[in-house]
Amino acid sequence: MSKTLVEIKDMYAGYNGIVVLKAIDLQVFEQDFLGIIGPNGGGKTTLIKTILGLLKPFSGELHFANDRQKNHIGYMPQTHGIDRKFPVLVSEVVESGLISDKSLSRSGRRDKTREMIRQMDIENVAGKAIGELSGGQLQRTLLARAVINDPELLILDEPNSYVDKRFELHFYELLKEINRKTAIVLVSHDIGTVISTVKNIACVNETLHYHSGTDVDADWLEEHWACPFEVISHGDLPHRVLKKH
């Protein structure tokens, strides 16, 4: 049986006394690939903030497998929230993912950074400022930063919000490779991409509804998302269309 990395029991969370999430129960397992979907304002970001320790729940329980895992979660934020005018190089962004690792020497950090840059195929832009990157290059840079410290859990917040569409399929192939040794939580509004990529699904809309596997249908989505859906397969990555409502 897979080890439980994160366990949430009967959690309530929100802001300024206003409940955004209620009675949340969730387990994230070792090498899981969990897709989190739900409408805007449904609480996806609030759930991620509580797991990352950025928001303290009002009540309930949040447990991690161990202290190392709690403090070594890889996180890739939404790319549209990145200030591309900030004067920082790709190599510096990637190396910043090692800031909490006190065991490495300066040369050790540089060696690990070079290897991660090689793995992500961004060697040709390593010396460039992030403002010079394409969407796909920025995507790979942020992903490299998130996984360079070998986290047991990787959290991705809307990773396709600013991606070069030519790179999108390759990006999800990268995630499948990372998932061989790292559990992934993928937050996305793109239901079709989630269904074609992840192993399990949770729909967050104030409460949380977990579905083991990805064989969801329109009825399940309509019930928990609270608006009608048609899921249409198209090419390698299916997409979704809202019915008239």
Q: Which of 205, 208, 188 lies closest to 60 in space, CA to CA?
A: 208
Report the b/e string of 153-173 with b at 16+ CB within 10 A.
bbbbbbbbbbbbeebbeebbe
Count the helix, strand and coil residues of the chain and give each as a percent rounded to the nearest 5.
Answer: 35, 30, 35
User: Six-digit token pair at 163?
Assistant: 């991606």
**168 vs 150: which has the higher pLDDT:** 150
For residue 229, what are the CA distances in angstroms to 36, 226, 241?
Answer: 17, 9, 6
Query: What's at 40, amino acid-wise?
Result: N
Residue 134 lies in a domain: no
- The three-class DSSP label of residue 98 is helix
Tell me the mean pLDDT in the region 36-61. Answer: 92
134 token code pair: 């394409």
In a domain, 46, yes or no: yes
HSE value, Cβ hemisphere, 13 Å, CA-based, for 201: 23
pLDDT tens-place string over residues 13-45: 999 999 999 999 999 999 999 999 888 888 999
Token duo for residue 84: 């591309």
| Residue 30 belongs to some domain of the structure | yes
What pTM value is reported for the model?
0.84
Residues 146/30/72/12 CA torsion (nearest 10 deg): 100
Residue 66 reports pLDDT greater than 80: no
Tell me the per-residue pLDDT of 183-230, one tens digit each, with 9 for 90 and over: 999 998 777 778 888 999 888 999 998 888 877 766 766 666 654 444
Residue 71 clears pLDDT 70, i.e. is over it = no
User: Is residue 170 domain-resident?
Assistant: yes
Reply yes or no on whether the pLDDT at 62 is more than 90: yes
Identify whether 110 is part of a domain: no
**Which has more confidence, 159 or 201?**
201
Enter the DSSP assignment of 122: -
Give me the pLDDT at residue 162, please.
54
- Please indicate whether residue 242 or residue 112 has the higher confidence score (pLDDT): 112
Q: How many domains does the chain have?
A: 1
Lowest average pLDDT, out of 87-91, 99-103, 221-225, goes to 221-225
Q: In this structure, is residue 199 part of a structural domain? A: yes
* Region 105-131 average pLDDT: 92
For residue 206, the SS3 value is coil
Residue 120: closest CA among 83, 152, 145: 145
**Structure token pair of residue 243:** 């019915």
Domain that holds residue 208: 4-82+152-242
Lowest mean pLDDT among 47-61, 72-86, 126-140: 72-86
Report the pLDDT value the prediction gives residue 213, as an integer from 0 to 100: 83
CATH of the domain at 199: 3.40.50.300
Within-domain flag for 189: yes
